[in-house]
Amino acid sequence: MKGPALRYAQIFLVSLPSFVLFGYNQSGVGGLDDFTSWIRQFPQIDTVNTTGAQESHNATGQGAVVASYTLGALIGALSCTVVGDVLGRRRTIFVGALIALIGQALECTAFALSHFVVGRVILGVGVGMLSATVPVWQSECSPAAQRGRNVVLTGMFIALGFALTQWVNFGFYHMQSASAAWRVSLAIPSVFSFVVMGSIFFLPESPRWLVMANRSDEAQRTLAALRGDDPNSLEVLAELRAFEVSLEETAAHRHSLKLRDIFTMGEEKLLYRFLLCIVLQFFQQMSGGTLISVYIPTIFETDLGLGADLSKILAACALTWKFLCCFVGFAIIDRMGRRAAFMVSGGGMSLCMLALAVSNSFANNHTASIVSAFFIFLYNLFLPVGFLGANFLYPAEVAPARLRVAMQSFAIANQWLWMFVVAMITPVAVTDIGYRYYIVYTVIAGVIPPAIYFFYPETKNRSLEELDEIFRESRSIFEVVVWSRRKPVRESVVERYIEKIEGEKAGVEEIE
């Protein structure tokens, strides 16, 4: 395969199954907590047949079980700071899928809560490795003009995982008394692990990583295959030259301690770029994404007082709607740009959370329940515009080549950390403070538009090497956004190297 066919294979054989795994396993357990067989197997986290202090205690335990997956994912994402550049992108992805498969096997065969939690943590480690590495691999393989669409698809696949698990759980709910109901539900995503493991080594390694590993000849052939061009074409040679020059500028630091490099400023403004990645992932979680995706059946059933069947159908419909809305984000990310997408998404989510806080303040009110359901669906329109895909893309764009995996790993680990916090506290918060819980998300999401406007430079249509130049040429962090707007996209880094190579060839011909 070459060119577009090869890029489609990357998307559908690796990115899709990796991020369906992400979404399915994040949301899966939240829909099983009222299954009869689940409660019988794990009575320690039963919140359906308990009340008072016992219910509060079990809710805390339930939050811990759900959140153990995110804790494992945090560890998995952080591990990529060590193994990501050593193993390379493909081998790291294979290891992540293998670890996820082991975790799924332990989950499905669990007869004790401790056994289940161990499996869930191991599953999280594997998914964390995939979530930190796959977007980097894709962004490094994609042309600048298509990078946004190719990587933002990750959010669409996460949403597909969310929707799939709700429909599967609804289907198995009618045989909830049998333990096979929840065991098979949790076993289904193992198919996606097998797909990733079976296909990754038939797909190309990142050409940028190959250059870092001093395998430039292989990088040249890989880049030619990805671009659907001849290995000796000017475009391929120029893009390869751009990779090499970008890495040569920091070659002396290639084996330095990544933590020490990341926490420095200097000409490259590494700390500033690192904080852009970290804060963006904080916004992604603390604007309510995990709250809605994981606990949406609980919100419909407990907060809004709807029946179990209706709650599961509405949850599945809401997350299917979220998946369909991801096509909006896919369509606009390379047209509207990253900054506009983030600001529109953040402002819309803040307004929806404010509406949920107001509507949930009316207890046992049918009209208020309808309003709440409407704003949950509306929230699922705004979230995918900027914070269900583009948040994976942006850190890979602003990070320098030698620290790209490290920064992406820390950023994704930070996302998993706040996902753990949300998953842990939500059952207790919904029980204890009710509608006031939504006010927290209203305020945090409301901070997103001004933060993006003042501090986040636009990355649309720029090569990764050109973005390095923007950060280096800006005199301070307050000038980066301004400089990114003023600097024309007129001449890409690759085009400049095409001119240089043509000049070198003309010089050689003249001498001959």
- Residue with more model confidence, 168 or 492: 168
pLDDT tens-place string over residues 222-248: 888 888 888 888 888 887 887 777 666
441 is a domain residue: yes
Q: What is the token pair recorded at 381?
A: 């329109």
Do the domain assignments include residue 476? Answer: no
Q: Identify the CATH number of the domain in which residue 129 sits.
A: 1.20.1250.20
pLDDT digit string, tens, across residues 168-187 = 888 888 888 888 888 998 99
Domain membership of residue 501 (yes or no) is no
Question: What is the C-alpha separation between 245 and 211, in angstroms, rounded?
Answer: 10
Is residue 217 one of the residues assigned to a domain?
Answer: no
What is the rounded CA–CA span in Å between residue 212 and residue 106?
A: 37
Q: What is the pLDDT of residue 119?
A: 93
pLDDT at 126 over 80: yes
Query: Is 153 in contact with 139 (CB distance < 8 Å)?
Result: no
| 12 located within any domain | yes
Judge whether 223 lies within some domain: no
Q: Is the pLDDT of residue 475 over 70?
A: yes
pLDDT of the residue at 504? 63
* pLDDT number for residue 257: 43
Model pLDDT, residue 326: 84
> How many angstroms separate the CA atoms of 15 and 21, rounded?
10
Domain count, the chain: 1
Looking at residue 447, what is its pLDDT? 95
Residue 136 lies in a domain: yes
The answer to whether residue 512 sits within a structural domain is no
Do residues 62 and 427 touch, judged by C-beta distance below 8 A? yes
Q: Is the pLDDT of residue 468 over 90?
A: no
User: Residue 248: which domain range?
Assistant: 3-203+231-468
The band of 4, judged by pLDDT with boundaries at 50, 70 and 90, is confident
Give the CB-side neighbour count of residue 11, counting CA atoms within 13 A. Answer: 20
Please, what's the b/e burial string for 394-429 (b: 16 or more CB within 10 A of its CB; e: otherwise)? bbbbbbbbbbbbbbbbbbbbbbbbbbbbbbbbbbbb
> How many other CB atoms sit within 10 Å of the CB of residue 320?
18
Cβ neighbors of 324 (< 8 A, separation 6 or more) are none
Q: What is the mean pLDDT of the chain?
A: 82
pLDDT tens, residue by residue, 235-292: 888 878 877 776 666 554 444 445 577 777 877 888 899 999 999 989 988 888 777 7
Give the pair of three-digit tokens for residue 82: 């060590």
CA angle 267, 271, 276 (to 5 degrees): 115
Nearest alpha carbon to residue 463 among 369, 397, 405: 397
Q: In this prediction, what percent of the chain has a pLDDT beyond 90?
A: 22
**pLDDT (average), residues 481-494:** 66
